[in-house]
Amino acid sequence: MAVDTSSSVALSYEWAHLGGRPGRLRRLGRVARQQPLGVFGCLVLGTFVFLGIFGPYITPHDPRELSVAPQLGDPTWSHPFGGNQNGQDMFSRVIAGARVSLTISAAAIFIGAASGSFLGILGGYYGRWIDYVVQRGGEAFAAFPGLTLYLLLIAAFGQGVKTIIIAIAIGALFGGSRVLRGATIVESRSAYVEAARSVGCSENRILLRHVIPNVLPLTIIIMSGALGGAILAESALAFLGLGVEPGTPSWGIDISANLTLARFGNWHLVVFPGLAISLVVLGSNLLGDALRDVLDPRLRR
């Protein structure tokens, strides 16, 4: 095919050199000035990651503890997001929800992107039958759009966190492998690889010492780009009652559990968890875009 449709995919490897040069702080500062939205996204995502890690220690109440807030109470100073039907503190639940949402989506993306990158690098570098298998596998999986994959896995393995993680991970897997394959091919034909080969380096050594370090940063970009989508998918699946068990402080679950109550004026029960999802997705999207802009000069403007 003559047209490269994945324009965002062909990247220069400036990223790889970012860390190695003197004055990188200044350089980072310049990048930050060019990408104020990216910095904002990084801050937002960072806040949620912080909440995800330290949430359990800083929430005013145990998110599962009953009758600590007025039942269906409106937001007040002591309970900024109000209380739900169990008298649980919604503020604590929304904070605690960060851990559930981020753990599942980050785990899924990590597993998917890491194994996808591995396959892509293998295929791109060694070619032949490995490449063939990886490529055909990718094409076969392209026939499973998100929903089909979720439904298949749910039918096969029942509902649960593992199923959701596997489903989201598989979605990220072959996207990652395609990008990494392309980059590996470009890299393995570059002059310095030729040079290394000519001085007698073994193929494995070239792969490990030269090719992988140069294409690996791409994995990070893939991950950051896919994170927003993964969080959206996770929350939508939780909303449908798949994924984590009911009762867990999870944004998607809180929204579906409180839908009917929300109609009776208890808007705070769905609006705050919904805003939390929107914000964290916003953060990761902005960060992902900024990273890509920095690293792909063709899109920089």
Residues lying near another protein in the complex (CB under 8 A):
1-3, 5, 7, 37, 64-67, 71-72, 85-87, 139-140, 142-148, 150-159, 228, 232, 235-236, 239-242, 245-247, 255, 257, 259-265, 267, 270-271, 274, 277-279, 281-282, 285-286, 298-299, 301
Taking the least distance from each CB to another protein, the nearer of 42 and 277 is: 277
**Interatomic CA distance for residues 301 and 299, integer angstroms:** 6
Least distance from another protein to the Cβ atom of residue 267, Å: 6
Least distance from another protein to the Cβ atom of residue 289, Å: 8
**Do residues 63 and 249 make contact, with C-beta atoms less than 8 angstroms apart?**
yes
**Interatomic CA distance for residues 117 and 177, integer angstroms:** 5
Taking the least distance from each CB to another protein, the nearer of 95 and 276 is: 276
Least distance from another protein to the Cβ atom of residue 196, Å: 34
Taking the least distance from each CB to another protein, the nearer of 143 and 191 is: 143
Backbone angles phi, psi at 89, to 5 degrees: -80, 115
**Interatomic CA distance for residues 123 and 116, integer angstroms:** 10
Count how many Cα atoms sit within 13 Å of the Cα of residue 175 in the half-sphere of its side chain.
24
Taking the least distance from each CB to another protein, the nearer of 196 and 227 is: 227
Taking the least distance from each CB to another protein, the nearer of 43 and 66 is: 66
- Candidates 221, 287, 292; CA nearest to 37 is 287
Taking the least distance from each CB to another protein, the nearer of 49 and 216 is: 49
Least distance from another protein to the Cβ atom of residue 146, Å: 6
- Candidates 210, 17, 15, 218; CA nearest to 125 is 210
Taking the least distance from each CB to another protein, the nearer of 24 and 298 is: 298
Least distance from another protein to the Cβ atom of residue 13, Å: 21
How many CB atoms are located within 10 Å of the residue 264 CB? 9
Count how many Cα atoms sit within 13 Å of the Cα of residue 112 in the half-sphere of its side chain.
28
Q: What is the DSSP letter of 207?
A: I
Q: How far apart are the first and last CA of the chain?
A: 28
Least distance from another protein to the Cβ atom of residue 50, Å: 19
**Interatomic CA distance for residues 42 and 40, integer angstroms:** 5
**Interatomic CA distance for residues 267 and 175, integer angstroms:** 38
Least distance from another protein to the Cβ atom of residue 285, Å: 6
The structure tokens listed for 139 are: 């094409």
